[in-house]
């Protein structure tokens, strides 16, 4: 991944999306790195994210993975939505854990894309693996270039 004009453009597209993403902001997700077809986000597990077993709720993990996926598949500036997503929970996350979700493109066609997301904890251990399918809705992310 290199810091060129296309990479900077990808970051601008995602930052515009993040500015309007109340859910990601409320959950404490932070953008770590963006490139074309790639997004890395981080988030700390807070007490209000725990389930009845006192581990991170699976829906929280899905939301983190889904958000990284969304940013990766919208990084080219063409609006895309999820058409399908699935997650495998590998190990629990606990309160205070710092999670990192890295989403990367496997295939991006004219309209449909396939992306993998890996969530790891602060020790580099895999917490969950997510696969997302995207569909472009034929509209640009930004109304005009800034």
DSSP string, 35-75: ETTEEEEEEE--GGGB-TTSSB-HHHHHHHHHHHHHHHHTT
pLDDT at 138: 79
Domain count, the chain: 1
CA–CA separation, 7 vs 20, rounded Å?
Answer: 21
Residue ranges for the chain with pLDDT beneath 50: 1, 144-146
Range of the domain at 21: 5-140
Q: CA Rg, the chain, in Å? A: 15
pLDDT, residue 113, reads: 98
Q: Is residue 146 part of a domain?
A: no
> Quick check: is 76 in a domain?
yes
Residue 134 is part of a domain; what is its CATH number? 3.10.129.10
Cβ neighbours around 130 below 10 Å, total: 23
Identify the pLDDT of residue 2. 53
Q: Which pTM value belongs to this model?
A: 0.93
């Amino acid at each position: 991944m290199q810091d060129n004009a296309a990479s900077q453009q990808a970051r601008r597209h995602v930052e515009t999306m993040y500015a309007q993403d109340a859910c990601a902001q409320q959950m404490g997700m932070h953008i770590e790195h963006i490139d074309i077809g790639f997004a890395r986000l981080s988030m700390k597990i807070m007490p209000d994210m725990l389930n009845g077993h006192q581990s991170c709720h699976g829906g929280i993990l899905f939301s983190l993975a889904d958000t990284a996926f969304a940013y990766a598949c919208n990084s080219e500036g063409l609006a895309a939505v999820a058409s399908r997503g699935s997650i495998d929970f590998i190990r629990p996350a606990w309160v205070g854990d710092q999670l990192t979700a890295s989403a990367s493109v496997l295939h991006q066609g004219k309209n449909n894309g396939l992306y993998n997301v890996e969530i790891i904890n602060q020790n580099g251990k895999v917490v969950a693996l997510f696969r997302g399918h995207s569909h472009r809705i034929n509209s640009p992310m930004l109304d005009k270039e800034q």
